[in-house]
Amino acid sequence: MTQRLAGRVAIVTGGSSGIGRAIVRTFAREGARVVVADITTEVIEGGPPVCEVVAEEGGIAVFHQTDISKAADVVALVAATVARFGRLDVLVNNAAVHAGKPLVETEENDWDYVMDVSLKGAYLCARAAVRQMLTQEIVGEVRGRLVHISSQHGHISAPEDFAYGVSKAGIAYMTRQIAADYAKDFIVSNAVAPGKILTGKPGRAVDPKWIDYSHARTPWPRLGTPQDVANAALFLASDEATYLTGHNLFVDGGWMAA
């Protein structure tokens, strides 16, 4: 590894499984000290807890149980991170949930569940992170970086997943708003917008109907992996991403180009 994040401190929400898990491992391999913010250490797709894997790989990752839909949990998360590691350099706003329903079948509790985690949680984490970053010295022209995991479905329709698509559109907007408001303070806000990513989790995500749909929409000969997203998040979290803020980086195999 090139140690592109050597000495940096990062929080990754939803870091126990899927895309978040790949980001945690990638950041740790690149020298970051990573705080895994999740409600559980259990891995949806199976396998040992990510902090154990990181330790075996020679990195540093610690778990902090967090319900990101609760402001008190998020404040405690950032406070514990700073108390342990001294600062916060990178927030990866990754945690998200689905309802998997079109508009007329989306009940109020479905909407609230998705918005509480996928959008309100991202707002609470971004707010707490930026508050901390504003107190920090500038290092390499930056006080801190936010990397939001949005989706191509924040820019086009999310078939039969109304609440999720709206939440991801909110993430895409939030990315730009934070970038515009806090560039003067040397705080960077960008997003990675994945296409169809095969994380290994079961259920609707691997229903043949949606796999076939995704293949039909994706020009690249394969669908995405969590590592594809982690590679993009690493770039946006690193010093290589200069004069770059407010951007949604599509990691979608050409989906949005087709």
User: Is 164 a known active-site residue?
Assistant: yes
Phi, psi of 8 (to 5 degrees): -85, 155
Query: At 168, which amino acid appears?
Result: K
Place of tokens 């992170």: 129
> Which burial class, exposed, middle or buried, applies to 237 when counting CB atoms under 10 A from its CB (0-12, 13-18, 19+)?
buried
Contacts (Cβ under 8 Å, ≥6 apart) of 98: 114, 161, 163, 164, 204
Under 8 Å between Cβ of 242 and 140? no
What are the structure tokens assigned to 37, written together? Answer: 């913010």
What is the tally of helices (H) and strands (E) in the chain?
Answer: 8, 7
Catalytic, out of 164, 182, 213, 243: 164
Query: At 72, which amino acid appears?
Result: A
CA–CA dist 167, 151 (Å, integer): 10
Helix (H) or strand (E) holding 188: strand 187-194
Phi, psi of 184 (to 5 degrees): -60, -20
Under 8 Å between Cβ of 40 and 16? yes
SS3 191: strand
SS3 148: strand
Q: Which residues are catalytic?
A: 164
